[in-house]
Chain A
Amino acid sequence: MSDGVRRALLLVGLLGFAALFVWGVGGLPPAGEYKGPYGTMLNVSAGAERHVTDVVTAVNFDYRGADTMGEEFILFTSVLGAAVLLKHEEKKKESGEKEGTGDDESGEGPPDSEAMRAAALGLVGLIVTFGLYVVLHGQLTPGGGFQGGVLLATVPLMVYLAGDPKRFLRIAPEALVETAEAVGAATYVLIGAWALVKGGVFLQNVLPLGPSEAKVTSGGTIPAINFATGVEVAGGFVLLLTLFLQQMLDRAREKR
């Protein structure tokens, strides 16, 4: 294909896209205006129906049903895929040529910086507290299992950045991390299936709703699923970290 033809093709595509784009934007309602019935209905009724104050979380983990479970499994599957790829690479290296030990290790460990160490150590406690807060208050304030899970997953990273791969392994051993990811994902499905046992539909909110003034224990299955999601997300991200930092961690494991 010559440059001319290529440009002509691009032009046709661009013009087509521009036309569709202008047409689409022309049909949008003005910014900030909402016409759908469901949002308005839920804003009025969700608080009393589910004893929650954050309607977004109520929609995500209750009214919407299996959608959020699908999202969680997107994460689960991508972590699994990355794990398969990276582990395969490890195996190939082991069975293939034996790399000389000790000669290619320069610059591989965590950075050696007092400032980094102090900042990372100072942040650990804060992040643990805030991460747990975000996971546990999903049904009350913005946040939930996904966001809190990512926050919690940065804790072992902070420990690693503080220059201590050994402690990374002590607070987040690979077996525990893998188990957490699997158990978190399975718990989500099991809570959904529990509704079937109780004679409802999948993921129906069948647990007692708790105090009506919206406390941490309010919301029935919403906080339960949120917690499971938090465990799954944190486990998944830490597993990714472990896989990426594997060689440095292996070295720490040998030294132990």
Chain B
Amino acid sequence: MMTGDAPLIQVLQIAILLFVAAMALGVVLTRDPTSQAIAVSFHGVLLGVMFFLFQSPDVALSQIAVGAVALPLMILLALARIRKDEAKQEKREASTEERAP
């Protein structure tokens, strides 16, 4: 690491660490699961940039592929599936209520 005047890379490293921390807070504070999946995707991209700035391009690429694409995608697909099941359940309950009286 260089000493003396902070070189550009260190400024960038500190900046990205702050961004990652802020975004992490943002992910936690997002309460709607669908929005949260999008937020976690952006957080994944930022983490990828962070790894890149800390000179780990291999890890950065894995992070972007998995953290920013695969993980949010799986969350969204799972959410869609849960919603569909819920909707069916509600429909079924509604129809049995109609028949009951």
Contacts and interface: CB of A to CB of B under 8 A. Distances in A.
Nearest to B60: A142
Contact of A32 (B1, B57, B70): B1
Interface string A74-118: 000000000000000000000000010000100010000000000
Given A104-B87, A104-B91, A150 B66 contact: yes
Contacts, number: 42
B5 interface: no
- Range for the number of chain A residues in contact with chain B: 20 to 34
Given A157-B73, A240-B74, A241-B77, A147 B1 contact: no
How big is the B interface, by class?
Answer: 20 to 34
A107 B65 CA distance: 28
Contact of A142 (B1, B57, B66, B78): B57
Contact of B1 (A30, A153, A154, A157): A30
A147 B63 CA distance: 9
Contacts of B91: 104
B61 A143 contact: yes
A36 to B, nearest CB: 15
B58 A244 contact: no
B69 interface: yes
A146 B62 contact: yes
A146 B65 contact: yes
A150 B57 contact: no
A57 B62 CA distance: 12
Contacts of B62: 146-147
28 contacts: A30-B1, A31-B1, A32-B1, A33-B1, A57-B58, A104-B87, A104-B88, A104-B91, A108-B84, A134-B61, A142-B57, A142-B58, A142-B61, A143-B61, A144-B58, A146-B62, A147-B61, A147-B62, A150-B69, A151-B65, A153-B70, A154-B69, A237-B70, A240-B77, A241-B77, A244-B77, A244-B78, A244-B80
Interface of A: 30-33, 54, 56-57, 99, 104, 108, 134, 142-144, 146-147, 150-151, 153-154, 157, 237, 240-241, 244-245
Closest 3 CB pairs of A and B: A142-B57, A150-B65, A244-B77
